[in-house]
Chains A and B, each alone.
Chain A
């Protein structure tokens, strides 16, 4: 059924489209600027002559980045830690959020256990104690140091349990009547109905793993094991000029030049940008719930 739009509705639509388009443009400007710098000559970038379009177009920075052994290695480490990390995180997340979405009657102690998790969001033992525990459990210098200590993310648990709670209880009750186990209920009712939430959390967690650099710096013993962001940080932090002689400065000027940094940031960011559009298909599932309930 088509409903004719009133004038007010039309005005709203026009204003809305215009507003969101302007907002979106405002958001991509810095990214376009980075992109332009990454394809510009070093001199133009150093002189601040690059706006939103490359000046003296060149792909030199990309070629340089791609042939750097450490960069490739770091890229692979990041892909590995992201795939492993997100898989494990989500598995534990689902297993944890599901029981906690129950009522205190179904799961005595639920509230207390929730608090045990929530507290970890705001209280931490600090750098040295955490380091000692991680090395005490022999994770140091393995990819697991980037994954295991951070598997449980209380923030995600609270989000997911809230989504789980919105799923109509009747679905579960009838399944239990039919003799379904809790695992079965989780897998065949809760998960399929929480795809938008799971997609959201997958995005958050993928982005989190992709961008995290500190544990790489702390737990990995050689540059070749660094994840991408740890490696990039080593290049981007302000070089300590005092320690350098002149020949070294020359190299530094080449490597830390804005164009090279921009190219590496672009290479490091584009894969993660692709995650959202990929996940968007799980966001259009509003119909499902209604039809199931219907």
Chain B
């Protein structure tokens, strides 16, 4: 089934597929024939990782069969009853399922966009700061929220956003507005999720761009200065092109998370009043599944997520390849 996924994601190209794997004999023959300068050491280097994923990532995939069973933990896979697509039907039959999928896609799409843009903008701004100590201090401070769990943050947010005595609503009423129940109002709840998510992780997200920025050749900036390029021109012509490969990579891989809208965050912040906009696939599964440990249904849902993720990542991958002739990975 692994193979099927590769094939569906990857239109057959003989030059990609004609590759030997792990077979020392074949590698030896190939390098002996000297058609290509293939160094067998390269394959040997891959060996540890291939073995590890084979055992610990692909090994458990055999367990995906329980998605098609009425799986009973005490009976095991062999003795559990086969039910075909019943577990999938069970999920699709829920009256709220479509709403949940829509919420998930909507929330995570907004998050993807914001999470993609904010770290890039902040990295570029940070890159413009010349005082090293100041820059380091800012970097360290903005990466702090990543380390505070959603349980804690939600506690803080609930009190800060409280409609009667929260600070934010205090400001709103001070300027003559009407207090808003941010966490209980369907029209603003999604916004709260997106903004608080961006706030928590943008600093962490900048790390990778800071690394990418350091590998831009500083000669380019000097040459541009001599050519009297202004700051915007330098950002536009040097900085951004320098981090484009990482931008594309991060963007592509994040497409795989379109069905992960952030369980911990939503679970700690939502409530029945905002189910209609805030209930996402993972919280929905939690409520119908975990209580009763329905591993079969959870696996079925996991397969749906995997299929969607792989599909989206493959599309982005091949778009990047077709348009920019660049293989992201």
Point out residues on A near B: beta carbons under 8 Å: 1, 3, 6, 8-9, 12-13, 16-17, 19-21, 23-28, 30-31, 33-34, 48, 92, 95-96, 98-100, 102, 104-130, 132-134, 137, 148-152, 155, 157-159, 161-163, 165-166, 181-183, 193, 196-197, 199-200, 203-204, 207, 211, 236, 265, 269, 272-273, 276-277, 280, 283-287, 289-290, 293-294
Contacts and interface: CB of A to CB of B under 8 A. Distances in A.
B141 A28 contact: yes
Interface in B102-161: 122, 125-126, 128-129, 132, 134, 136-149, 151-153, 156, 159
Interface string B21-36: 1000000001000001
Interface of B: 2, 5-6, 9-10, 15-21, 30, 36-39, 41-43, 45-46, 48-50, 52-53, 55-64, 66, 73, 122, 125-126, 128-129, 132, 134, 136-149, 151-153, 156, 159, 199, 203, 207-208, 210-219, 225, 230-231, 245-246, 249, 253, 256, 295, 298-299, 302, 305-306, 309-310, 313, 327-329
A112 B6 contact: yes
A284 B56 contact: no
A165 B246 CA distance: 11
A276 B210 CA distance: 12
B140 to A, nearest CB: 5
Given A30-B156, A125-B61, A283-B211, A107 B42 contact: yes
Contact of A24 (B137, B212, B310): B137
Nearest to B203: A27
Question: Looking at chain B's contact residues, is the secondary structure mostly helix, strand, loop, or mixed?
Answer: helix
Contacts, number: 281
B249 A98 contact: no
A8 B149 CA distance: 41
A118 B329 contact: yes
B61 A105 contact: no
B207 A200 contact: yes
Contacts of B215: 163, 166, 193, 196-197, 285-286, 289
A30 B145 contact: yes
B310 A119 contact: yes
A183 B42 CA distance: 9
Contacts of A96: 45-46, 48-49
Nearest to B248: A162
Nearest to A163: B215
Contacts of B147: 207, 211, 269, 272-273
Contacts of A200: 207-208, 210-211
Which of A12, A122, A128, A150 has its CB near the most chain B CB atoms (within 10 A)?
Answer: A122
Given A130-B60, A155-B253, A159-B208, A24 B138 contact: yes
A162 B211 contact: no
A25 B30 CA distance: 60
A123 B53 CA distance: 12
A273 B142 CA distance: 11
B253 A121 contact: yes
Contacts of A276: 139-140, 143, 207
B38 A126 contact: no
Given A24-B138, A119-B5, A276-B143, A113 B19 contact: yes
B20 A196 contact: no
Contact of A20 (B52, B129, B212): B129
B48 to A, nearest CB: 5
Contacts of B16: 104, 109, 111-112
A30 B142 CA distance: 12
Contacts of A133: 55-56, 59-60
A211 B211 CA distance: 22
Given A12-B231, A196-B212, 18 more contacts: A6-B230, A20-B122, A27-B199, A109-B16, A111-B327, A116-B53, A120-B53, A124-B60, A128-B295, A129-B61, A129-B63, A132-B63, A149-B56, A152-B53, A158-B328, A265-B152, A280-B136, A283-B214
B41 A183 contact: yes
B36 A105 contact: yes
Which of A236, A269, A283, A290 has its CB near the most chain B CB atoms (within 10 A)?
Answer: A283
